[in-house]
């Protein structure tokens, strides 16, 4: 049987690299996009990047801890999405804007 | 025996009058002020008689312990009151003479503002003075010492709307600070060296030590104590505050600046007799300072025109006499003079107050004269005081002065001779004041023109004082005349040993000096007043010096006051305070503000900005861990 052009079993590193790329995309989106919704999505992206690495480790190490962690993260993300969207809605109602730099009164 | 009740009564009087006096009637204020002193006096009498003082008792000190005040390792200070025969003399003077002066003040202060304030200060003074003499250790004595200084300051500046009164109060307070500093150093020295401040233990320890022929610890302690005594008892070089202290109301001059507080220094030296007996040098310094002060201030008294100033310099001079008594080792004679002086000098001041009262505030002798018929009782009582202070037998001053001079001759004849000369001067200036005041023609303005003088007893005419003022005068006159028969030296024999018996001729000489003084005063101011003026013209130079008090105030001004004031202003204020202290405080503020305004830049309010900080921080953390090799 000829050697496959890729390993028979996907190495852990690949998953981790993918996770890092996703996380970096999330960070970049958070830092450089100005729409609050996009920023919010970027946060979700980061969370799921972390989830991916949890699951990968869990699979590789044959332990369940990572799976459990990822469930926790999902729960927290859901709760955060609920609160966050509520805040975004309120901000929009009050200011008629979704421009994140318009919302800077926290410094006061 | 409840010794603490003795000072407690005046303290209660102070509290009541001080807190509620504004709302009380004058009768109530009088009742509280005089009543508290009366109770204190009665309690003293009762305590002393219970201790058997009238039938040869109280040979050993009686002591009460109340509580431990300071406990630090082996060093402990307790609040103890003790009575021995020395304290008994002072208790009698303070409460007895104090009571008479309080009664007098009811009449004298009747027309003054701040009536309750005056009496609450007076009561507070009584409290501290009693603590001073009752305390059984140096620290408790110091408490009383500072307290009477405070009351002295408050009462000198009683007419606080007048600049000269507040200045005089400040002067008294500041000059006393110098003396008190010496006293405090003495206390530290004694505490360090003996490990206790308790009188009994310190003096027992001193007694066990050899007499110092060369200056040592005991001499140092004695001299430092003496610095304190010169401040409080107005001796050279710190006497300058006492004449100015006459800015206070006259009862204050009588009580604080003649009869009691200024004798605190004498009490302290007599109390510490053991220390001085173990240091010949310290004892000699006491005698020399005493005789110098006595003579020096007697000469100043010759040329003063303010009746209270004359008696003030006389007080300084008589205090000098007391120090001579102490310094020549005749402690009991010095204490004897304290008592007789309390009688006749309180009387002189109260009598002067009565004259001032009669003249609606006039104090200048040049504007008095011929008052003998107008205020006869005051006149007679003042002459009683005059013969007593002049040392004419058998009146009180004669006995105490004679005891001092006899002891002085034994120790050093030159002190005796200067003392005799001083006695002559004393008789001269006291009778000069009395003759100028009571005889001759009235030289003042007609009494209707009394206008807006600061004493301002607003009722016209030259009039004799009310009975409430005259009764204390009469009692004090009786004491001045007969007080010499209270044999204080005999009474103090168990403490200070047998009094000296001088040769008779010593006595004759001093009496002759006193009589000569009176005769010269009569010659100059009764028989031919022109003679006095001629005398002044001939001796114009010396007269100018004496009249201006030897320019000592000016000398102190140039050498001490101005440098201190200028140094404070130029260095301590402009550099020390403005530059260094304020600079440091403002600098701290400026640094905090600058840091804050830098950190403020990080708080932009832009969420993405914060996120960038978080990212940068995490990157830094990761890099750091990588660098430390922590990731693997």
The predicted pLDDT at position B629 comes to 80
Domain assignment present for residue A51? The answer is yes
What does DSSP say about strands B62-72 and B75-83: parallel, antiparallel, or unpaired? antiparallel
Q: What share of chain A in percent tops pLDDT 90?
A: 61
Distance CA(B431)–CA(B302), nearest Å, equals 10
Between CA B302 and CA B421 the distance in angstroms is 13
Residue A14 maps to a domain? no
Who among B604, B605, B611 is closest to A30 (CB)?
Answer: B611
Q: B544: which strand partners? A: none
Residue A56 lies in a domain: yes
Alpha helical stretches, state H, B51-160 = 85-108, 115-134, 138-156
- Token code pair at residue B43: 């309690």
Q: B347 pLDDT exceeds 60?
A: yes
Query: From the candidates A16, A42, A84, A106, which should be mutated to test the interface with B, based on the most B CB atoms within 10 A?
Result: A106
Site of tokens 């869990």: A58
DSSP B465: P
- Cα distance between residue B350 and residue B476, in whole Å: 9
Q: Which of B607, B609, B614, B616 to mutate to test the interface with A (most CBs of A within 10 A)?
A: B607
pLDDT of residue B582: 92
Q: Given an 8 Å threshold on Cβ–Cβ distance, is B605 in contact with A106?
A: yes
User: Whole-angstrom distance between the N-terminal and C-terminal Cα of chain B?
Assistant: 87
Report the chain A residue with the minimal C-alpha distance to residue B611. A31
- Domain positions in chain B are 5-547, 607-632
DSSP class of residue B359 equals T
Q: First and final CA of chain A: distance in angstroms?
A: 69
How does pLDDT run across B371-394, given as a tens digit for each residue?
888 889 999 999 999 999 999 988
Among left, alpha and beta (phi > 0; psi -120 to 50; other), residue B58 is left
Residue identified by tokens 């005991």 is B218
What single DSSP character describes residue B135? B
Provide, as residue numbers in chain A, all residues whose Cβ is less than 8 Å from the Cβ of B611: 27, 30-31
The token pair at B417 is 């001779």
Task: Give me the percent of chain B exceeding a pLDDT of 70.
Answer: 97
pLDDT, tens digit, 9 for 90 and up, residues B45-60: 999 999 888 887 888 8
The answer to whether A31 contacts B603, with C-beta atoms less than 8 Å apart, is: no
Please list every residue in chain B whose beta carbon sits closer than 8 Å to the beta carbon of residue A101: 606, 608
Mean pLDDT along residues B156-179: 92
Contacts of B176 (CB under 8 A, 6+ apart): B149, B152, B231, B232, B238, B241
What confidence score (pLDDT) does residue B632 get? 57
Report the distance separating Cα B270 and Cα B226, nearest Å. 11
Size of interface A-B (CB pairs under 8 A): 29
A84 domain residue, yes or no: yes
φ and ψ at B530, to 5 degrees? Answer: -60, -30
Interface predicted TM-score (ipTM) over 0.85: no
Cα B386–chain centre separation: 22
pLDDT tens for B496-509 read 888 777 788 888 99
The answer to whether the beta carbons of residues B366 and B436 sit under 8 Å apart is yes
Predicted confidence at residue B169, as pLDDT, reads: 93
- Tell whether A76 is covered by a domain: yes
Q: Which domain, by its residues, includes A68?
A: 34-100
B450 has a pLDDT exceeding 80: no
Identify all chain A residues contacting B631, using CB atoms and an 8 Å cutoff. none
| CB-CB under 8 Å, B608 with A39 | yes
What is the pLDDT at residue B465?
A: 86
Contact state of B615 with A108 under an 8 Å Cβ cutoff: no
Task: Give residue B359's pLDDT.
Answer: 86
**Distance to chain B for A2, nearest Cα, Å:** 36
Most A CBs within 10 A among B596, B601, B610, B611, hence the mutation to make, goes to B611
Listed range (B169-183, B222-236, B247-261, B603-617) with the worst mean pLDDT: B603-617
Confidence grade of residue B537 (pLDDT, cut at 50, 70, 90): confident
Residue A103 has pLDDT above 90, yes or no: no
B549-587 confidence digits (pLDDT tens): 888 888 888 888 899 889 988 888 888 889 999 999 999
Confidence of residue B8 (pLDDT cuts 50, 70, 90): very high
pLDDT, tens digit, 9 for 90 and up, residues B184-208: 999 999 999 999 999 999 999 999 9
Question: Helices B467-482 and B85-108 sit at what angle, rounded to 10 degrees?
Answer: 150
Instruction: Determine the 3-state secondary structure of B80 from DSSP.
Output: strand
Query: Is A54 within the bounds of a domain?
Result: yes
The CA distance from B604 to B598, in Å, is 12
Asked if residue B528 lies in contact with residue B440, where contact means CB atoms within 8 angstroms, the answer is no
- Helix or strand (DSSP H, E) at B314: helix B307-327
The A-side interface with B (CB below 8 A) comprises 27, 30-32, 34, 39, 100-101, 103-108
The answer to whether the Cβ–Cβ distance between B611 and A108 falls below 8 Å is: no
Q: Which residues pair with B212 in a beta bridge?
A: B279
Residue A44 lies in a domain: yes
SS (H, E, C) B9-69: HHHHHHHHHHHHHHHCCHHHHHHHHHHHHHHHHHHHHHHHHHCCHHHCCCCCCEEEEEEEE
From chain B, the residues in CB contact with A39 under 8 A are 607-608
**CB pair distance less than 8 Å for A31 and B605:** no
8 A C-beta contact, residue B96 and residue B75:
no
**Using the beta-carbon criterion (under 8 Å), do A101 and B608 form an inter-chain contact?**
yes
How confident is the model over A55-77, as pLDDT tens digits? 999 998 999 999 999 999 999 99
Is residue B208 exposed (0-12), middle (13-18) or buried (19+ Cβ within 10 Å)? exposed
Helix (H) or strand (E) holding B613: helix B607-628
Q: Confirm if B336 and B406 have CB atoms less than 8 A apart.
A: no
- List the one residue out of B303, B302, B309, B298 whose CA is nearest residue B352: B309
Q: Which of B251, B270, B421 is nearest to B331 (CA)?
A: B270
Encode pLDDT of B413-443 as tens digits.
Answer: 999 999 999 999 999 999 999 999 998 888 8
CB contact under 8 A, A101 and B615: no
A24 part of a folded domain: no
Q: Is the pLDDT of residue B452 over 50?
A: no
Residue B626 has pLDDT above 90, yes or no: no
Contact check, Cβ <8 Å, A31/B612: yes
Closest in A30, A106, A108 to B608, CB measured? A30
HSE-CB at B468 with a 13 A cutoff on CA atoms is: 12
CATH number at residue A49: 1.10.287.3510
Q: Does B615 contact A39 at a Cβ distance shorter than 8 Å? A: no
Whether A27 sits inside 8 A of B615 (CB atoms) is: yes
Backbone phi, then psi, for B354, in 5-degree steps?
A: -65, -40
Check B605 against A104: CB less than 8 A apart.
Answer: yes
pLDDT of the residue at B453: 44
Contacts of B606 in chain A (CB under 8 A): 100-101, 104
Q: Do B606 and A104 touch (CB under 8 A)?
A: yes
Interface touch B611/A101, C-beta < 8 Å: no
Residue among A32, A34, A104 minimizing CB distance to B604: A104
What pLDDT was estimated at residue B140?
Answer: 94
CA B306/CA B365 separation, integer angstroms: 6
CA dist., res. A40 & res. A58, Å (int): 27
Q: Which of A30, A32, A101 sits opposite B606 (nearest CB)?
A: A101
Residues B306, B547: Cα–Cα separation, whole Å: 11
Q: What angle do CA B602, B606, B610 make, to 5 degrees?
A: 55
For the residues of B336-357, what is the DSSP string, one character each? HHHHHHHHHHHHHHHHHHHHHH
How many domains does chain A divide into? 1
């Amino acid at each position: 049987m000829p050697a496959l052009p890729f390993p028979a079993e996907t190495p852990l590193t690949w998953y981790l690299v993918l996770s890092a790329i996703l996380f970096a995309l999330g960070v970049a989106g958070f830092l450089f996009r100005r729409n609050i919704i996009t920023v919010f999505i970027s946060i979700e992206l980061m969370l799921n990047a972390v989830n991916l690495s949890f699951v990968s480790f869990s699979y590789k190490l044959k332990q369940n801890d990572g799976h459990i962690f990822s469930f926790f993260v999902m729960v927290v993300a859901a709760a955060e999405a609920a609160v966050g969207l509520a805040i975004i809605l309120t901000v929009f109602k009050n200011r008629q804007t979704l421009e994140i730099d318009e919302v800077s009164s926290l410094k006061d | 025996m409840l010794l603490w009740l003795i000072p407690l009564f005046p303290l209660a009087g102070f509290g009541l009058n001080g807190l509620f006096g504004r709302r009380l009637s004058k009768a109530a204020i009088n009742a509280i002020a005089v009543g508290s002193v009366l109770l204190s006096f009665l309690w003293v009498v009762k305590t002393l008689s219970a201790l058997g003082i009238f039938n040869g008792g109280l040979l050993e000190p009686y002591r009460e312990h109340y509580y431990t005040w300071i406990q630090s390792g082996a060093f402990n200070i307790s609040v103890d009151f003790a009575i021995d025969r020395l304290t008994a003399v002072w208790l009698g003077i303070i409460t007895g003479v104090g009571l008479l002066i309080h009664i007098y003040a009811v009449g004298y202060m009747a027309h003054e503002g701040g009536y309750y304030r005056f009496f609450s200060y007076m009561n507070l003074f009584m409290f501290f003075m009693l603590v001073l003499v009752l305390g059984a250790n140096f620290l408790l004595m110091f408490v009383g010492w500072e307290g009477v200084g405070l009351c002295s300051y408050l009462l000198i500046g009683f007419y606080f709307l007048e600049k000269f009164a507040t200045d005089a109060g400040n002067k008294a307070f500041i000059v006393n600070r110098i003396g008190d500093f010496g006293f405090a150093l003495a206390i530290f020295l004694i505490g360090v060296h003996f490990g206790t401040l308790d009188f009994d233990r310190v003096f027992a320890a001193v007694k066990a030590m050899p007499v110092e022929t060369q200056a040592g610890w005991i001499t140092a302690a004695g001299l430092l104590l003496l610095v304190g005594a010169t401040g409080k008892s107005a001796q050279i070089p710190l006497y300058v505050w006492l004449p100015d202290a006459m800015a206070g109301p006259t009862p204050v001059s009588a009580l604080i600046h003649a009869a009691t507080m200024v004798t605190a220094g004498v009490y302290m030296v007599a109390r510490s007799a053991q220390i001085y007996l173990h240091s010949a040098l310290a004892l000699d310094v006491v005698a020399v300072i005493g005789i110098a002060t006595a003579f020096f201030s007697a000469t100043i008294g010759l040329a003063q025109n303010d009746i209270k100033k004359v008696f003030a310099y006389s007080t300084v001079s008589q205090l000098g006499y007391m120090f001579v008594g102490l310094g020549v080792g005749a402690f009991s004679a010095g204490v004897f003079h304290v008592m007789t002086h309390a009688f006749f000098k309180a009387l002189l001041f109260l009598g002067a107050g009565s004259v001032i009262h009669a003249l609606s505030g006039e104090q200048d002798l040049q504007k008095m004269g011929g008052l003998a018929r107008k205020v006869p009782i005051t006149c007679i009582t003042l002459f009683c005081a005059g013969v007593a202070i002049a040392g004419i037998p058998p009146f009180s001053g004669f006995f105490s002065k004679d005891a001092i001079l006899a002891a002085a001759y034994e120790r050093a004849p030159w002190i005796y001779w200067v003392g005799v000369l001083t006695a002559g001067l004393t008789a001269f200036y006291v009778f000069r004041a009395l003759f100028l005041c009571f005889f001759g023609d009235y030289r003042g303005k007609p009494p209707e023109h009394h206008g807006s003088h600061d004493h301002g007893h607003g009722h016209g005419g030259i009039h004799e004082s009310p009975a409430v003022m005259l009764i204390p005068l009469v009692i004090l006159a009786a004491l001045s005349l007969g007080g010499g028969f209270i044999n204080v030296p005999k009474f103090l024999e168990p403490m200070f040993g047998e009094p000296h018996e001088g040769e008779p001729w010593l006595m004759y000489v001093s009496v002759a000096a006193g009589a000569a003084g009176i005769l010269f005063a009569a010659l100059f101011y009764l028989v031919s007043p022109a003679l006095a003026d001629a005398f002044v013209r001939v001796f114009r130079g010396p007269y100018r010096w004496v009249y201006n008090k030897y320019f000592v105030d000016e000398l102190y001004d140039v050498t001490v006051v101005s440098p201190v004031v200028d140094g404070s202003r130029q260095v301590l204020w402009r550099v020390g305070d403005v530059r260094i202290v304020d600079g440091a405080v403002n600098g701290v503020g400026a640094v905090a503000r600058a840091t804050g305004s830098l950190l403020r830049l990080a708080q932009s309010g832009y969420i993405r900005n914060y996120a960038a900080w978080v990212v940068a921080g995490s990157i830094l953390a990761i890099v750091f861990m990588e660098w430390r090799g922590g990731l693997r």
